[in-house]
Amino acid sequence: MVQAVQGAGVVVTGAGGGIGAALARRFAAGGAKVVVNDLDAARAAAVAEEIGGIALPGDASAIADEARNALGGAVDVYCANAGLASGGSEAAGEEVWAQAWDVNVMAHVRAAEALLPHWLERGAGRFVSTVSAAGLLTMIGAAPYSVTKHGAYAFAEWLSLTYRHRGIKVHAICPQGVRTDMLAATGSAGDLVLQPTAIEPEDVADALFKGIEEDRFLILPHPEVAGFYQARAADPDRWLTGMNHLQRKWEETR
C-alpha cells in the first residue's frame, strides 16, 4: 500500500471509464476518499457507487473548489485525466484545435491555479497529469492531439521544476495504447501504431502507484517509450524518417 494515498482526498477527472475509472478504483482500494468526475453524470455516479466515492459530474475545468468542499476541505491528489483524442491534420478546423487545447491543456492549468494556493500554503500536494506517449513522441493522423499532449507534458514538467522544493509532487503518465473507448476511436492509425502493444487501464494505475512509491515524475506504463524518447532526442532526423515510414504505411491502408 502506498502511504501517501491512505486517507488522502483524491479527485480524478474523466473517471467514468477507461484510465480514469481504473485510477479511481485504485486510489479507493488504497484507502483514499475519491471524487469521481466525468461529463457523463450516469457514468460518474456508477463508478462512485462502486468504490464508495463521491460523484461530481461536469466540466473538469471548473470542479476544484466544489471537489474541495465535497472532500471536507482538502484535495491532496488531483488527477487531471480527462482528455480529448482529436484526430486530423493542420486543416482540422479552428473549433477542433480550440477544444483540444481547452481540454488537454487549459483544464490542467485551471486546476493548478485553483489548487496551488492551498497546496503551497501547507507545503504539500500531488498533481497527476495523464498525458500520453504522444506528448513525448507524436501520433500519426492526430495533429491536435499530438500538439496539445506535448503542451500537457510541458505544463506538468513546468509545475514540477517550479514547485518541487515547496512540497508539490507532480507525475506525468505517458502510456501508448490503452484498451479504452478512446483507443477504439483512433481508427486505422490506432490499429497500426497502438493496438499491437495495448495494455489495460489497470496497468496504467499500477504504473502510477509504482511511480508514486519511487517518487518519479515520468510514468511510462510502456517501458519501451523511454528508448523511443531517447532515440528521438539523439537523432531527430532518423527518428522522423522512421515515423514517416509509419505514416506512409498508414496511408496505404486507408
Grid coordinates representing 52 are 464508495
Provide the annotated active-site residues: 145, 149
**Cα–Cα–Cα angle for 244, 249, 251, rounded to 5 degrees:** 95
